[in-house]
Amino acid sequence: MSKRIRIIFYLKKQRNYSSGPVRITVSGKRAEISTARECEPRRWNASAGRAIGTKEAVLSLNAYLDTLQQKVYEAHRKLLEQGREATAKKVKAAYLGKQEKASMLVEELEAHNQRVEALLGSESTLKGYKTSLYHIKEFLLSKHGIKDIDLKQMDYGFISDYDFYLRSTCGCSNNSTLKYMKLLKKVINECLHQGLVEKAPFLHYKGKVKQLDRVYLTEEELQKITAKEMVTERLSQVRNIFLFCCLTGLAYTYVQRLTKENIIKGIDGEAWLVVQRQKTGNPTRLPLLPSAKLILDRYRQHPQCLYKNRLLPVLSNQKMNAYLKEIMDVCGISKPVTSHTARHTFATTVTLLNGVPMESVSKMLGHTSIKTTQHYAKCRLP
What is the rounded CA–CA span in Å between residue 345 and residue 329?
A: 18
Sequence-separated (6 or more) residues with CB below 8 Å from residue 156: 201, 203, 204, 205
Residue 104 is classified by DSSP as B
Nearest to 91 by CA among 31, 146, 152: 31
- Structure confidence at residue 194 as a pLDDT band (50, 70, 90): confident
What is the rounded CA–CA span in Å between residue 320 and residue 304?
A: 16
Question: In whole angstroms, how large is the CA radius of gyration of the chain?
Answer: 32
Per-residue pLDDT, 44: 85
Per-residue pLDDT, 382: 47
Q: Provide the percentage of residues in the chain whose pLDDT is more than 70.
A: 89
Per-residue pLDDT, 3: 64
- Structure confidence at residue 119 as a pLDDT band (50, 70, 90): confident
Other Cβ atoms closer than 10 A to 335: 12
- Measure Cα distances from 304 to 136, 152, 299, 310 in Å: 39, 51, 9, 8
Q: Is the pLDDT of residue 138 over 90?
A: yes
Per-residue pLDDT, 212: 72
Greater model confidence, 89 or 236: 236
Per-residue pLDDT, 377: 54
Per-residue pLDDT, 30: 81
- Structure confidence at residue 337 as a pLDDT band (50, 70, 90): very high
Please, what are the domains in the chain? 6-96 (no CATH), 105-193 (1.10.150), 219-376 (1.10.443.10)
Per-residue pLDDT, 2: 53
Per-residue pLDDT, 380: 47
pLDDT (average), residues 177-183: 94
Q: Is the pLDDT of residue 107 over 70?
A: yes
Mean pLDDT, rounded, of the chain: 85
